[in-house]
Structure 1
Amino acid sequence: MQHHFFNTRTLAIAAALAIAPAAFAQDATTTAPKRFNATVGYSHMIPKSNPGNVGGSAVDLDGKGAATLSGTWMVNDNVGVELWGTPDKYAHDVNLSTGHGTIKQQPIAVSGQYHFGNAAQPIRPFVGLGYYQANIDSETFDPTVAGGQHVGFDTPKGAIATVGADFNITDTWFARADARYMKGDSDVTVNGAKVGQLQLDPIVVGVGVGARF
């Protein structure tokens, strides 16, 4: 399901963040504004507890963790544009009355952000709103779920909202904590025929370490 599309997006994130080492070569005493920040972190995705039914069977999803990468271009001291995603994938257990399965999900998002206060304050909260979509693949289910037929999940996409805070360590380094809510549905198919729709609507809670330059 759009594997090449998402692999390209993941490589784009990695390429953007690959220039981060240039930050370490800057003079620590410079007064030039630092307009770009890059963050590496880890997060846990928590899907909606009752996302819906598939073929008349209620679905329960369990969330797991994955590494995250993000890069933000600060238009000015308060407004930024963030590209966020995962180089790896979130794994989910899918539990139904007819059996068990697993899927993997890899989201990517672009958001506008507003950072409160100024860059020099010790704790700097921020909010964001944007658009995301997630590739879902590696669907594996017990034969009892669909008689051994392939169970597929369509690409969820929609709005993403972010709240977080940066904790300044130096003028270059900072720690980050954030939470993201992603509003998106996924059609569920068996051998290509739609058998249900799930409101995934996950919350992603993460921490990370970043650098500005």
Structure 2
Amino acid sequence: MKSIRTLTIALAALAAAPAAFAQDASSDAGSSAYDKRFAVVGGAAILKPDRDPAPGLKIDGDVAPVISASWYATPNIAVELWGAADKFNHRVKADGPGKIGTVDQQPIALSGQYHFGAPDKVMRPFVGLGYYESNFSNESIGGDGAHVGLETAKGAMATAGMDFNINQTWFARADARYMKGDAGVRVGGQGTGEELTIDPWVVGVGIGARF
């Protein structure tokens, strides 16, 4: 939960920062997309594991709200803090019908991004690379017996997306993120030395505003 609290505090700080500059911006008749250094995006995404974590074991994808805040060091280079505003809930299945359990996860990530073209272009593609952590909780796997838990997954995250400018302030966004990392497996609260590989894709859409 520490990562989630960090996300909430950081997003609040970044979202509030533009207000400090709003008065100056409103008084500048020449203000344009080039002058806006902050952006926030809210939307929804589906998180789907790229592979089965183990032979005969499958994890379904799920949809959850996501939010991000970015600071543009230049019109093309940005630092983005991104995360899920709620948990992705996954059904865990084994060979055969029905599920054998569920697990929640909530990722957070910090990335550097490069946005191609000028800020006022109608379509602006971007790419990014960063670090993520994904917290797992509410594991209910295997029914009776010792509790099976997952440790926080950590690793690299790659991003590619496109912004569609509506005007100088508002834009729509579509993006895809690939997370590479393993989660340690715990049984009865004890580490097993085994790791679960999920490597999910996160594909999302949203609406953003620049300040």
Amino acid of the structure 1 residue aligned with 2:130:
G
Q: Hey, what's the Cα distance between the residues in 1 that align with 2:3 and 2:79?
A: 20
Could you list the per-position Cα deviations for residues 164-186 of structure 1 after superposition, in whole angstroms to 9, with x for gaps in the alignment? 01000010000000000000111
1:64 to 62, 65, 86: 62
1:197 aligns with 2:199: no
Match of 1:50 in 2: 52
Match of 1:91 in 2: 89
Offset at residue 51 of structure 1 (A): 1.9
| SS of residue paired to 2:100 | strand
Q: Give percent identity, aligned residues only.
A: 47
Contact map agreement 2:51 2:199 (CA 8 A) in 1: no
State the TM-score, normalized to the length of structure 1.
0.87
Q: Deviations over 1:48-74 (max 9, x none)?
A: 232225xxxx32010101111101110
Determine the C-alpha separation between the residues in 2 that align with 1:89 and 1:37.
23
In structure 1, the partner of 2:43 is 41
Does 61-70 or 43-52 show the bigger shift? 43-52
Q: List per-residue Cα deviations over 1:10-61 (Å, max 9, x = no partner).
A: 32244135427738775384426101101011000011232225xxxx3201
C-alpha change, 1:195 and 1:20, in structure 2 (3 Å) is same
CA distance 1:168–1:24, change in 2 (3 Å): farther
**Which residue is equivalent to 1:182?**
179
Does the Cα contact within 8 Å between 2:178 and 2:201 map onto a contact in 1? yes
Matched residue type, 1:172:
T
> Counterparts of 2:162 and 2:147 in 1: how far apart (Å)?
42
Choose 183-192 or 90-99, whichever is displaced more.
90-99
Does structure 2 retain, via aligned residues, the 8 Å contact 1:16–1:71? no
The structure 2 residue matched to 1:15, chosen from 12, 15, 32, is: 12
**How many residues were matched structurally?**
203
Q: In structure 2, the residue corresponding to 1:19 is in which secondary structure?
A: helix
- Which residue is 1:79 aligned to? 77
1:207 to 205, 208, 211: 205
Structure 2 segments unaligned to the other structure (5+ residues): none
